[in-house]
Structure 1
């Protein structure tokens, strides 16, 4: 019964509503932090830098990492998930092109934070980020650790699932119910957050933006 076309269309509609609502929340929460005026083309800067708090996550090589992973280089941080059908791969393609254009070596890294720990194991995450660029660092962790890390940046996300023909929302930080399975949608904000070599969150880029604008802004921020 659940496989009938009518039910499938209803699921798609419910998921679409959840995605729009969640992304809207991410835009609102993110926009509240940033200064309206910026001397840059696309980046929105915070009124003052925010020092990253202590945290423990795991990189795509199964190594425990903390704030030191952001020291001594610039970082662009993006929250998503490897099963994302559209926005995540397009964004990572754009960020990979930026890395190539910058020729930054160890000066710049892209950090992809998976907010889908149930499906994004170490091997899957490693294969995913490696496909786009060797300078993309994958991070994963427990639901609680990820929620705390995302909350610092103002990155909103949640999961939507159909259980017994009803749409349920699982907030950030909460483990998935055992009856959800693997058929669920992750809804996440789409900002790219900027962290300086001192480990300070200083601003973000929000879609839509042009690659050339991001390139120009990062060159200015990095003093090039």
Structure 2
């Protein structure tokens, strides 16, 4: 028997999936991609411009669309109390990040961890959490409406799951997409990376894409 939270996340996932399917049908009618061939990154062409958003970064500054320009960025939704998917994904991404450290910092690909649990995850906490995996990982969060809008624009979903019966009210979990969104150097939604993740393949793809988009 599904509980209410499970039904909500399934409905949200279905809605996002339908939106993604429609976007893929649209992209399929467009000219062939201009980017190099990739193995882990599934690219869209043309890319999709994101609506305005504003997230709070770990250092207290605002993360707005203009801040993401100039780099390829991989966006992952999660939360610091996540028992498995989040630490595994950030560990895998840290392996990829170490492989592209030789790329100049001005154009180096970035990983953005967005916490979808603002009730427990303060900017300081998400910064400490993300940097424990790799010093270059960006971390941000926002209030729930802003996070929902941001996730929806990336065809990603999340929903709070109630704690188990008898557990403290703050011992809840958050269901969220495990897929990563890929943003191009103009900050546009340009593709997806779906699990299981291959750090070496992701690093190779991001190095090729960075070289292809370099001025």
Is the contact made by 2:48 and 2:190 (CA closer than 8 Å) also made in structure 1?
A: yes
Deviation at 1:77, TM superposition (A): 0.7
Deviation at 1:109, TM superposition (A): 1.2
Partner of 2:154: 153
Query: How many residues are treated as equivalent by the alignment?
Result: 199
What stretches of structure 2 of length at least 5 have no aligned partner?
Answer: none
Between 1:209-218 and 1:69-78, the stretch displaced more is 209-218
Is residue 2:209 matched to residue 1:221?
yes
Normalised to the residue count of structure 1, the TM-score between the two structures is 0.77
Partner of 2:17: 28
Deviations 1:156-214 (A, max 9, x none): 11011048x59xxxxxxxxxxxxx83121100001111111111110010001322221
C-alpha change, 1:139 and 1:48, in structure 2 (3 Å) is same
Structure 1 stretches of at least 4 aligned residues deviating more than 3 Å after TM superposition = 13-31, 33-39
Q: Select 1:45's aligned residue among 20, 28, 43.
A: 43
Is the contact made by 1:76 and 1:194 (CA closer than 8 Å) also made in structure 2?
A: yes
Task: Please state which structure has a larger fraction of its residues in strand.
Answer: 1
Query: What SS is found at the alignment partner of 2:86?
Result: helix
Alpha-carbon RMSD across the aligned residues, in angstroms, is: 3.1
Is the contact made by 2:160 and 2:174 (CA closer than 8 Å) also made in structure 1?
A: yes
Normalised to the residue count of structure 2, the TM-score between the two structures is 0.80
Deviation at 1:50, TM superposition (A): 1.0
Deviation at 1:124, TM superposition (A): 1.1
2-side partners of 1:189 and 1:98: how far apart?
A: 20
Query: What SS is found at the alignment partner of 2:196?
Result: coil
